[in-house]
Structures are given as C-alpha cells and as structure tokens.
Structure 1
Amino acid sequence: MDRGSRFFYALEKRRGAKKHVTCLLAEDGTPLTDPAEMCQRARAFYATLFSPDPTDPNACRVLWDGLPTVSTGDRDRLELPLTLAEFSEALRHMPTNKSPGLDGLTVEFYRVFWDVLGPDLVTVWAEALQSGVLPLSCRRAVLALLPKRGDLRDLRNWRPVSLLSTDYKIVAKAISMRLGSVLADVVHPDQTYTVPGRTIFDNLYLVRDLLELGCRDGLSFALLSLDQEKAFDRMDHGYLLGTLRAFGFGPLFVGFLQVLYASAECLVRLNWTLTEPVSFGRGVRQGCPLSGQLYTLAIEPFLCLLRKRLTGLVLRELGLRLVLSAYADDVLLVVQDPGDLARVEACQAVYSAASSARVNWVKSSGLVV
C-alpha cells in the first residue's frame, strides 16, 4: 500500500472542496448560505424533479407503433426466475472500491460472506416479487451530487448519483446481464450506449467520415446536436414500462423492474448532511447497474420516430440514408432538408408529451458543413 503523502492529502482536499456547497440559489434566484436553508432547497428541488407530470397516452401510442420486438425464445428466457448462480455471477462482475449505500456494506464484504448472504438474497428477492416492493434498506438511496459545468449555485448544474445498497445492485446487475443479451436486437445500430459490441468510437468515426465526405464531395448539410435537460432524471416510469412492453418484454420481466422502482426514495446528501426522504417518482437512477440500458430503451422510440420522419442525408452512391447518431441522450442529427428542422421539433414534442422529456434548445447546437 502506498504511504500517504502531502501531495495525496492535498489532492483529496481539492477534490472534496469541489463537492462542498457554500451557496445555493433559491427558486427566485436569492442566494442561500445557511446550511439548513440549503438543505431545504436541495430537498425541494429534487422532490420537484422526481415528481411525475401527466403524460399523453396518444403520444405514447405514436412512439410505440411499429417497434421491433424481442424473439419469443428470448422473451421466455427473460421471464425465468432469477437464480443464485445469476446473483453470484453478477457479484463477480461488479467493480470494487465503490461507495456503498446507507448500510455501508460493500461489494468486498458481500464477496467474503457470499456463501451465507447469497441464499438469503434469493429469499428476499422472492418475497419482494410477492409483495411488489423491496425492503426499505434496498429501495432507499443516498443522492450524492457531483459538479458539472456552469454556475454551481444552480442545482441544475449538479449530477445526482444514487448510492444504492449492494444487495440492490446485485439484483439489478443480474437483470442487467440478462437484458444486455437482447439489446442489440431491438436498438438500432446508430445508438451505441450500453449495447454490447458498440462503442462511442462508432459515433466519432461516423462524424469524422461525414465531415471528410462533405469536404471531398462538396455536400451541403448540417449537424444538429440536441441537449435533453436532466435526461435520466425526468424519465416517466409509466412510459418506461410501457416501452418495455412495446418491445415485447413479458409481464414477469417488466415486473422485475416495477419491483426495483416501487416506492423508491432517496436522501439528498449536501456537505455530508442528509435531508428527509424524497420519493423517486420518475427518472432512472444514475448509479444503478440498469440505468443506462433502461434509458437506451426509453429513448429508442423517439429515435425511431426521427428515423421515420426525417429526410436525413441520402448518399445514393453508397445506398445509405444517414439520419442520426446517438450515445444515450446525446443525439446528433444529420440535416440536409430545411424542412427537417420543423419535423425535429414536432418529433420532440411527441416524445416530451409521452415521457416528460424536455429538450434544452438554448444548449442545443448546430454546425453547417
């Protein structure tokens, strides 16, 4: 083990200082510096963010129409009960040296005592499926705030990450490993996030090749980057579960996810002080092994709608039509027909009505080639 040094302690001090909040802006823009008032503001902000808004069933039907579905064999396989062997495999693949949940029990702890704890976790999960809800210790998370760019007095410029208990993450990881085996069957190749065999380099290479092609052949087009505001945190649970059903996932598998999110809540951590609980009524929990895959599935109907309605860039010599490239919520659109701009706005309106998503047009950007 490396010996502690002045450099090491200074580095840790600087890292901690970045996460220390000295001032927050109230909803009306008033600066708050009192610790109690800042905690109240943080709790109120996330209580509002995680509260569901009404969604439009007609918009959902538009998005769900004609989606690809998993095969009957995969659907049946995903419906099987989770086993001790799957939990063991999930634990083996989980990273170590990660922050635990409220109980303080780490991945390393579970690995040491797995012979004792593993069978008990199978029993707890079976009882949760019967009751429809996990024990409070599993469904309650600590919400840690990580700084992003911008004015850090504004809570919108912090990324909320859920510190979940390891037993919850083992179950979620086991489900995630099942889900990963079928993602490529229902998610279009131009979305690369969390899909096995695809990487962000696929997106980068596409943009590079497009720019090179435009310069070489004198093509005129534009690249439009959409910025989804609080993308993971605004996702409506009803829309998410309905999307899974539209992709052909069976009732038992969808039920697994319903149990994981039923009566979920979090305590916001601000300068090591925990707020009162906040209900997690919408959003996918950043920090959950399943969150990325669930978001990929949730945004895919929107991307399908864009592929249907936009002209994109037609490369006749290659027999290709390029419409978009996506990595999670980072969606890059290829626009040649000016009419596509209005179509993008119309598609976004449908997606927002169905899922509570919200595009930030101010932060969205474009590049004319």
Structure 2
Amino acid sequence: MLLTAERVGFRNGRSCCDQIFTLRNKIEQCLEYRYPLDINFVDFKAFDSAHHESLWEILELYGVPTTFVEIFRSLYQNSMCCMKTTLGNTSYFEVTTGVRQGCVLSPLLFNVVLDFVMRRTTAEVQEGIPWFRGRLMDLDFADDITVFSEDNDKLRRITESLSQEAGNIGLRISPEKSKVMCVGITSPRDGIYIGSDRLEVVNSLTYLGSMIANDGDAETDVRCRIAKATAIFRRLKPLWTSSSISNSVKLLCIRR
C-alpha cells in the first residue's frame, strides 16, 4: 500500500515547501471567492507514544513482508530502561511504546503510523474542501497534521474522529498546542474541543517555519525571513571581511 499524496515528510523529492504553498494557495482562493474555510493545526502530545504491537499490525496491513516485520519487532523486543534521579536509578521497566530517535527506520515508521491514522479518519468522516476535481481534507508533514473543512461543525467531526483513531494506537492530541484558524466569512461559533478543552482560535501562526495568516498576507513571513538572514550575515561578518579567504569561497558559502 502506498502512502497518500497528502503525506510528504521524509519522502524523496518532496519538502515542506509543497505544504506551505498548498496552504497559502487555498487560503488565497477562499478569500478571493469568499469561500468558507476552517483549519485545525493538530499537535500531538508525544508522537513517540504509539504502541509497538499496533505498529507491527499496521505494517502488515500495508503489505510489508512478514520477514521484515519480524526484523523490526526484534529491534524493539525486550527494550528496557530506567530513570536516573538524584537518589539513584529506578528499577528497570520494559518499553512498549514509541520509536527510537536517530534510527534510520523511524521516519518510515512515523509516516506509516500517521498515514494509517489519517486513512481511518478520512474513511469515517468524508468531509474536506473542494480541490481541483476532488477534495482535500488534510496536509501532513511528519507529525504536523493540518485538517480542512467548510464549516465549524464539520471540522469538529473530523477532529473528534482524528482524536479517536489516534488514541486507538496510543497517540494523544495536545489541546494546548493545537490551533484553529478561520478564513473568510466563517466564524468559530461553538468552538472545537479535545475532550473538555477548547482549542484556541488564532489569526496567524507558524506552520513548518513559515508565518501563515488568515487574511492571506505574507508580509510578516517575508519580514521574519529577511530578519533571520540578516542576523546570520552579521554573525558571519568575520568571514566576509577576512582577507585570507578568497571571494570564491565566500560566494560558495552564500550559494549553499
């Protein structure tokens, strides 16, 4: 089974630029044609909390050969750890959730787990917004999930379904870090909830390193990028003013 087109993280030939462009483009279209758009920027509390057994089952559902699944399972089997405190180490306990940070397999496992969650979510709640000849319901980059809807009620149903499907395999959405954005003529009305916690409604936020505003204005993002570039150039002033470094090397630093 192939990953969905909406998922671009850790995939060859794709980057966060694809997601940023698509998001900006859709906001601009909705503003131009006065089309309502509600967006939920989902943040998970701890992405490394996915159950190991759920992970192996998902890999099998995606058609990964049993031999490889068993190899992956053996890498995580009998994983033990303890907590280091000021009073000494605690007793050892088995680790049954999460993936190993720094492991070359972890990005693949990240993608498969969240792709599975989003497939289940979209199967339960077929909402989204018009996009060319189909519908666009989400944009995914690693564990950054952005879901779209035409109104507040539909976005609430999508969010509830996503929270339930993610919870089934051990993932939990963070109400404090998840944000809702309303574009155009739409309004939050009753709000979006995770459990009893209402998600904050914002006019702008940082998405994959880029400032996104509900009025489609990119000026703030441009100013931020110019400021960051200026700060870096100032830090490299000794390099630019050094007479012992050739201009060709300085140009090479700029190009890279």
**Normalised by the size of structure 1, how large is the TM-score?**
0.46
Q: Which runs of 5+ in 1 are unaligned?
A: 1-68, 70-185
Number of the residue aligned with 2:121: 306
- The Cα offsets for residues 47-67 of structure 1, whole Å up to 9 and x where unpaired, read as xxxxxxxxxxxxxxxxxxxxx
Number of the residue aligned with 2:19: 203
- The Cα offsets for residues 2-59 of structure 1, whole Å up to 9 and x where unpaired, read as xxxxxxxxxxxxxxxxxxxxxxxxxxxxxxxxxxxxxxxxxxxxxxxxxxxxxxxxxx
Q: Is residue 63 of structure 2 the alignment partner of residue 263 of structure 1?
A: no
SS class of match (1:367): strand
**AA at the equivalent of 2:42:** L
Corresponding residue to 1:284 among 99, 104, 113: 99
Number of the residue aligned with 1:240: 55
**AA at the equivalent of 1:356:** G
Q: Is residue 147 of structure 2 the alignment partner of residue 344 of structure 1?
A: no
**Displacement of 1:344:** 2.5
Number of the residue aligned with 1:226: 42
**AA at the equivalent of 1:204:** I
Q: Is residue 206 of structure 2 the alignment partner of residue 358 of structure 1?
A: no
Q: Residues of 1 paired with 2:12 and 2:89: CA distance? A: 37
- The Cα offsets for residues 88-108 of structure 1, whole Å up to 9 and x where unpaired, read as xxxxxxxxxxxxxxxxxxxxx
Q: How does 1:66-105 map to 2 (within 5 A)?
A: 69=1
**AA at the equivalent of 2:139:** S
Q: Residues of 1 paired with 2:17 and 2:91: CA distance? A: 42
Q: Is residue 74 of structure 2 the alignment partner of residue 249 of structure 1?
A: no
Number of the residue aligned with 2:232: none
SS class of match (2:164): helix
Corresponding residue to 2:139 among 318, 321, 325: 325
More helix by share: 1
Count of paired positions:
180
- The Cα offsets for residues 131-190 of structure 1, whole Å up to 9 and x where unpaired, read as xxxxxxxxxxxxxxxxxxxxxxxxxxxxxxxxxxxxxxxxxxxxxxxxxxxxxxx11111
Q: Give the percent of matched residue pairs that are identical in Structure 1 and Structure 2.
A: 21
**Normalised by the size of structure 2, how large is the TM-score?**
0.64
Number of the residue aligned with 1:216: 32
Q: Which runs of 5+ in 2 are unaligned?
A: 184-256
**Displacement of 1:297:** 0.5
**AA at the equivalent of 1:280:** V
SS class of match (2:173): coil
In structure 2, relative to structure 1, the CA distance for the partners of 1:197 and 1:277 (3 Å cut) is: farther
SS class of match (1:325): strand
Q: Residues of 2 paired with 1:274 and 1:230: CA distance? A: 24
- The Cα offsets for residues 238-288 of structure 1, whole Å up to 9 and x where unpaired, read as 1000000000111101011011101113455679x8766443221111221
**AA at the equivalent of 2:107:** G
CA contact (8 A) 1:225 1:331 kept: yes
CA contact (8 A) 1:265 1:279 kept: yes
CA contact (8 A) 1:310 1:340 kept: no
SS class of match (2:139): strand
More strand by share: 2
Q: Is residue 143 of structure 2 the alignment partner of residue 335 of structure 1?
A: no
Q: Residues of 2 paired with 1:235 and 1:275: CA distance? A: 23
The alignment's C-alpha RMSD in Å is 2.1
**Displacement of 1:212:** 1.6
**Displacement of 1:237:** 0.5
